[in-house]
């Protein structure tokens, strides 16, 4: 699985031999590849007007392009804000709650993200074909798809340590601009242009997987909530800046502590482990039917409803499993 | 009928071909030529509706919808055969006499005494004793001993001591269907009670001295409170409309010291339609998130569930926090009243959250108090307007509570699902007829078997591994969050999409934890035995006695090792609108089909796209449900008795 940003085809349908050669080299003799473009075909076409575009079939004959429009940027942030508003609105009656939830569109975005990641995973696992994923910049929906696909495909990404590695690779080093994406979150009136909850969407999708495969992830909800918190505001330098270059310039590694170092301490670590975890060597294919996708209570109602009874249940589970 | 196709709901391409059989009690589909004999059995009593659809090139489609929400799509090659099957099923699914029902032919091979013992498992007298009755305020009345006062009530009713037979009879004449106020639950800590009745025949201005005295008697039976709540579970408008028909509700002016309250729960017709709409949403092919949420909201189903729950919470609070007694009624006092009283009791008393206690609760508030099982769940062919998912809603309320309080119930989701199944299956005699009187006349206990005994025998399957009777959650009253709480009500896909295995988590946490608990217990027992053995050896070193150690069965498979293909699941169709993948040859399947087919872990494939697009052929075809998988259906002695073995394909 490869990732990139969009090719700069532009309105004049420019070609680039090096790019074509590079992609050609990825494929074996007679092999076929898939390009998953996370923009709609329409949007991808329009991108040509501003210098971007898509890989033309003629120049990349062994690659087949699939479009899966994933929401990003401003509309995604709006979706997030609306959802948080709805969750905090005590005046909604039961007969309006679901339509209000629907109007936020957040769950649709979760469904779309999971579906696309599964598509990428299918290409690799079932079709045994290589996959190239890109959107426009290659820093948002692209990373969402590649990271999620790996959780689905690769059991080592589902371990605590493996998951941290995945985050480092596919989000932090890959250059997701945390600095601007995770700035003010949902309550701010500022409505910053660059803000968008892609990382939260990723965590939500991982939570959906943990619900559907309760034994297959070594970590639990608590880790996901901690990551969400730290992406926005942290005592650690792990999510600072927007890419490796900036981190170098700011001397992040020299002047801050790593979140991972703290999380991996034995006494901390056990709080994040899933007591039900057993190594599952197989691919985990989630259901993306609407009934299977649920609103992430633990996050969106975190401060609104007591988690006492659920926490007690987890303590019971720990006890039952631990006593063995 | 041969060469019948059984289609997967989501993909018309994944069809199994086999033979369809109709017997006196079941319709069965047996798949052709597979190594494992895959069978689908459906009880006629479970059939809710049969739809004959337009003939296509492949044959004549027949859609069978079941009361337990299973949907079976068949395609019968010859139109003639299809018609015959259709007509037969219509007749078979609508029995006219009780004797046609399965419970009268079902034979679990128990002797007469065992059958009797089974019926004695739940004893309501014992239950009222447990509550602390009779006492100086409450007593058993024999006024209805021959059903002379009210024929839909039990022979044994509990009333305040100060309510004489004269008062009871007088009151019964002033109540719809003569269902006078009687005790449902007594909270001895607070001396407060929950009583139930039907609506008073008050019209616009009628009064009845005895009825007023009856309510007074109930109030006085609670010396700690100077008033009584009267809760009418209907919407105010409906109750007012009833006045024009000579019925209505209690006027606070006429009844001394009552506080009257409407809690609007809609009627059986609204609920029937609500369920119908929700099931239509479940039948949508590859719905978007929007389709689903809008559809669910339009059905109003969760709103109704919440209304019932809120009513139960109100009553539980009145009793537990205010120490005030409550009289509950609706119109006839056998639907909403039953729902609300049982929810309140469940919240108040931890006993009802145990397995035995729950059985008792249903026997008390539903069976003995004359809930019209026959009319509501269509044991026999009757008026379709009487059909309504009343007890289903109560069962769902329990599930919603289980989700909020995972440690509070001794039983698990499977328990609830099996009970729901058997209310419609008519395999046991508990839920037949409309009243105790009718059941007695039919000699149900002598001619059929009790569900409770059967479930009790299998109770290991129904336990909640997180339940501990000494846990804080299990003790005392449950306090569900009142508001905001819309989001707490979830769609119960375990019930309404029960047969679509692909939608549910592949691995059951409940089963895993139960298995772990069992193994832990075994190990502890073994440890104990070894400890004793050691002590013995140490005591008598010269003794030749050999202590035989128990051979513990350690072959517990949790089924979670990676080599176990149980875990393998298959992808659904993730690319709805794309012609993505060219066809793959079947030989590329990477999982052992035969093995998968015996396990309940298959995901059915997904929507068929356009005619040209090809599916992910990695998706296997329909699986056979091994009953030992602890699965969806109350499979009785799996495999032991072919009568009971219920295999279902997904």
Phi, psi of B361 (to 5 degrees): -60, -45
Q: Are residues B338 and B460 located together in one domain of the fold? A: yes
Tell me the residue range of the domain where B24 lies. Answer: 4-94
Q: Is residue B589 part of a domain?
A: no
Annotated binding site of B for substrate: 267-268, 330-336
Q: State whether A316 and B406 contact (CB < 8 Å).
A: yes
Q: Are residues B72 and B144 located together in one domain of the fold? A: no
**Final residue of a domain: which of B480, B513, B546?**
B513
Identify whether the C-beta of residue B30 lies closer than 8 Å to the C-beta of residue B21: yes
Q: Are residues B70 and B145 located together in one domain of the fold? A: no
Q: Does B586 touch chain A (CB under 8 A)?
A: no
Q: Does B442 touch chain A (CB under 8 A)?
A: no
> What domain count does chain B have?
2
Q: Are residues B55 and B172 located together in one domain of the fold? A: no
Q: Considering only the beta carbons, identify the residue of A118, A213, A323 that sits closest to B505.
A: A213
Q: Are residues B129 and B39 located together in one domain of the fold? A: no
d(CA B491, CA B399): 10
Percentage of chain A beyond pLDDT 70 is: 99
- Find the farthest-apart pair of alpha carbons in chain B and give their distance in angstroms, rounded: 94
pLDDT band at B592 (very low <50, low <70, confident <90, very high): very low
Q: Return the structure tokens found at B130.
A: 């447990």
Please give the pLDDT value at position B544.
52
**Residue B519 neighbours by CB under 8 Å, 6+ apart:** A324, B556
Q: Is residue B57 part of a domain?
A: yes
Q: Is residue B563 part of a domain?
A: no
Q: Are residues B81 and B191 located together in one domain of the fold? A: no
Q: Is residue B625 part of a domain?
A: no
**Final residue of a domain: which of B76, B94, B112?**
B94
Give the pLDDT confidence of B495-517 residue by residue, as tens digits.
999 988 778 777 789 999 999 99
Question: Angle of helix A106-125 relative to helix A73-88, nearest 10 degrees?
Answer: 130
Q: Are residues B187 and B271 located together in one domain of the fold? A: yes
Q: Are residues B206 and B63 located together in one domain of the fold? A: no
Q: Is residue B636 part of a domain?
A: no
Query: What is this model's ipTM?
Result: 0.94
Q: Are residues B159 and B52 located together in one domain of the fold? A: no
**Final residue of a domain: which of B496, B513, B530?**
B513
Give the pLDDT confidence of B422-441 residue by residue, as tens digits.
999 999 999 999 999 999 99
Q: Is residue B164 part of a domain?
A: yes
Q: Return the structure tokens found at A156.
A: 């080592």
Give me the active site residues of B, please.
330
What average pLDDT score do residues B343-372 get?
A: 97
- Which of B311-320, B358-367, B592-601 has the lowest average pLDDT? B592-601
Q: Is residue B393 part of a domain?
A: yes
Q: Does B503 touch chain A (CB under 8 A)?
A: yes
Count CB-CB contacts under 10 A for residue B639. Answer: 13
Q: State whether B405 and A309 contact (CB < 8 Å).
A: yes
Q: Are residues B30 and B127 located together in one domain of the fold? A: no
What average pLDDT score do residues A80-89 get?
A: 94
User: Domain of B43: which CATH number?
Assistant: 2.30.29.30
Q: Is A67 helix (H, G, I), strand (E, B) or coil?
A: strand
pLDDT band at B9 (very low <50, low <70, confident <90, very high): low
- Which of A90-99, B392-401, B577-586 has the lowest average pLDDT? B577-586
Please give the pLDDT value at position B553.
34
Dihedral sign of CA atoms B361, B367, B371, B374 in order: positive
Q: Is B489 helix (H, G, I), strand (E, B) or coil?
A: coil
Q: Which of residues 28-47 of B touch A (CB under 8 A)?
A: none
d(CA B363, CA B374): 15
More confident call, B64 vs B7: B64
Count CB-CB contacts under 10 A for residue A212. Answer: 23
d(CA B24, CA B621): 29
User: The tokens 């679990």 sit on which residue?
Assistant: B108
State how beta strands B138-141 and A130-134 pair: unpaired
Give the pLDDT confidence of A158-213 residue by residue, as tens digits.
999 999 999 999 999 999 999 999 998 888 877 788 999 999 999 999 999 999 99
Q: Are residues B21 and B140 located together in one domain of the fold? A: no
Q: Are residues B351 and B258 located together in one domain of the fold? A: yes
Q: Rg of chain A over CA atoms, in angstroms?
A: 21
Question: What residue in A sits closest to B617 (Cα-Cα)?
Answer: A126
Q: Is residue B584 part of a domain?
A: no
Q: How far is CA A219 from the centre of its chain?
A: 16
Q: Does B477 touch chain A (CB under 8 A)?
A: no
Query: B206 pLDDT exceeds 50?
Result: yes
Q: State whether B490 and A294 contact (CB < 8 Å).
A: yes
Query: B617 pLDDT exceeds 70?
Result: no
């Amino acid at each position: 699985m490869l990732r990139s940003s969009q090719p700069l085809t532009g309105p004049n349908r420019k070609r680039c031999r090096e790019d074509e050669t590079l992609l050609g080299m990825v494929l074996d003799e007679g092999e076929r590849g898939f390009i998953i473009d996370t923009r709609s075909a329409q949007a991808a076409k329009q991108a040509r007007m501003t210098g971007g575009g898509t890989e033309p079939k003629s120049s990349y004959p062994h690659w087949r392009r699939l479009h899966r429009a994933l929401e990003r940027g401003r509309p995604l942030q709006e979706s997030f804000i609306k959802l948080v508003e709805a969750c905090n609105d005590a005046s909604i009656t039961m007969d309006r709650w679901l339509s209000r939830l629907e109007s936020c569109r957040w769950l649709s975005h979760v469904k779309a993200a999971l579906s696309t990641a599964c598509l990428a995973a299918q290409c690799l696992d079932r079709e045994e074909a290589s996959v190239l994923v890109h959107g426009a910049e290659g820093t948002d929906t692209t990373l969402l798809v590649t990271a999620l696909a790996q959780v689905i495909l690769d059991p080592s990404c589902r371990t605590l340590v493996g998951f941290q590695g995945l985050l480092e690779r596919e989000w932090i080093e890959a250059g997701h601009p945390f600095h601007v994406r995770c700035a003010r979150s949902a309550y701010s009136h500022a409505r910053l242009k660059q803000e968008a909850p892609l990382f939260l969407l990723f965590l939500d999708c991982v939570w959906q997987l943990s619900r559907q495969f309760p034994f297959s992830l070594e970590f639990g909800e608590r880790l996901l909530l901690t990551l969400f918190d730290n992406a926005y505001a942290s005592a650690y330098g792990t999510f600072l800046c927007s890419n490796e270059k900036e981190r170098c310039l700011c001397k992040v590694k020299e002047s801050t502590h790593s979140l991972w170092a703290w999380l991996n301490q034995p006494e901390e670590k056990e709080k994040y482990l899933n007591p039900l975890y057993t190594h599952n060597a197989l691919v985990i294919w989630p259901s993306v039917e609407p009934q299977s996708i649920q609103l992430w209570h633990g996050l969106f109602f975190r401060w609104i409803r007591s988690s006492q009874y659920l926490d007690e249940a987890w303590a019971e589970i720990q006890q039952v499993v631990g006593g063995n | 009928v041969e060469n019948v196709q059984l289609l997967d709901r989501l993909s018309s391409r994944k069809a199994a071909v086999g033979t369809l059989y109709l017997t006196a009690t079941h319709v069965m589909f047996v798949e052709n030529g597979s190594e494992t004999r895959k069978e689908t059995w459906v009880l006629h009593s479970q059939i809710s509706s049969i739809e004959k659809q337009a003939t296509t090139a492949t044959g004549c489609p027949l859609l069978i919808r079941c009361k337990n929400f299973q949907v079976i799509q068949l395609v019968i090659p010859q139109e003639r055969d299809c018609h015959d099957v259709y007509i037969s099923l219509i007749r078979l699914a609508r029995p006219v006499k009780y004797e046609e029902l399965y419970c009268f032919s079902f034979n679990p091979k128990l002797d007469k005494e065992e059958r009797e013992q089974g019926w004695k498992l739940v004893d309501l007298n014992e239950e009222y004793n447990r509550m602390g009755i009779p006492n100086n305020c409450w007593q058993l009345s024999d006024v209805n001993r021959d059903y002379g006062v009210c024929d839909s009530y039990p022979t044994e009713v509990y009333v305040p001591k100060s309510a004489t037979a004269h008062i009871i009879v007088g009151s019964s004449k002033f109540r719809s269907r003569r269902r006078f106020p009687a005790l449902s639950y007594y909270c001895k800590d607070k001396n407060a009670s929950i009583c139930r009745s039907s609506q008073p025949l008050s019209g616009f201005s009628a009064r009845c001295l005895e009825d007023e005295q009856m309510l007074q008697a109930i109030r006085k039976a609670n010396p700690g409170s100077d008033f009584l709540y009267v809760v009418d579970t209907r919407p105010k408008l409906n109750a007012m409309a009833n006045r024009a028909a000579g019925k209505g509700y209690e006027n606070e002016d006429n009844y001394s010291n009552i506080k009257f309250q409407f809690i609007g729960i809609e009627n059986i017709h609204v609920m029937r339609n609500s369920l119908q709409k929700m099931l239509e949403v479940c039948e949508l092919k590859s719905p978007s998130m929007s389709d689903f949420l809008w559809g669910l909201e339009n059905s109003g189903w969760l709103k109704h569930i919440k209304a019932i729950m809120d009513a139960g919470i109100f009553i539980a609070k009145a009793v537990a926090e205010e120490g005030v007694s409550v009289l509950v009624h609706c119109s006839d006092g056998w639907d909403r009243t039953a729902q609300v009283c049982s929810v309140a009791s469940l919240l108040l008393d931890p006993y009802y959250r145990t397995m035995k206690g729950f059985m008792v609760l249903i026997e008390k508030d539903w069976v003995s108090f004359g809930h019209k099982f026959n009319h509501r769940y269509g044991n026999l062919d009757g008026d379709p307007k009487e059909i309504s998912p009343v007890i289903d809603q109560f069962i769902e309320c329990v599930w919603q509570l289980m989700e909020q309080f995972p440690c509070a119930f001794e039983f698990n989701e499977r328990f609830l699902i099996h009970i729901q199944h058997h209310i419609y299956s008519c395999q046991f005699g508990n839920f037949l007829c409309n009243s105790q009187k009718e059941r007695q006349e039919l000699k149900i206990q002598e001619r059929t078997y009790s569900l409770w005994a059967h479930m009790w025998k299998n109770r290991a399957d129904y336990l909640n591994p997180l339940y501990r009777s000494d846990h804080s959650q299990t003790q005392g009253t449950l306090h569900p969050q009142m508001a905001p709480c819309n989001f707490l009500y979830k769609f119960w896909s375990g019930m309404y999409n029960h047969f679509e295995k692909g939608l549910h988590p592949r691995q059951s946490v409940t089963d895993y934890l139960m298995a772990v608990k069992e193994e832990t217990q075994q190990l502890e027992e073994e440890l104990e035995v070894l400890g004793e053995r050691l002590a013995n050896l140490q005591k008598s070193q010269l003794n030749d006695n050999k202590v035989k150690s128990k051979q513990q069965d350690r072959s517990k498979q949790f089924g979670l090792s990676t080599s176990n293909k149980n875990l393998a699941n298959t992808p659904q169709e993730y690319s709805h609108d794309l012609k993505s993948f060219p066809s793959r040859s079947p030989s590329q399947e990477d999982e052992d089909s035969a093995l998968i087919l015996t396990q309940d872990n298959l995901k059915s494939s997904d929507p068929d796209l356009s005619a040209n697009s090809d599916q992910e052929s990695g998706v296997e075809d329909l699986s056979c449900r091994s009953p030992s998988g602890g699965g969806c259906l109350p499979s009785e002695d799996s495999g032991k008795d072919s009568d009971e073995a219920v295999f279902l394909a997904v």
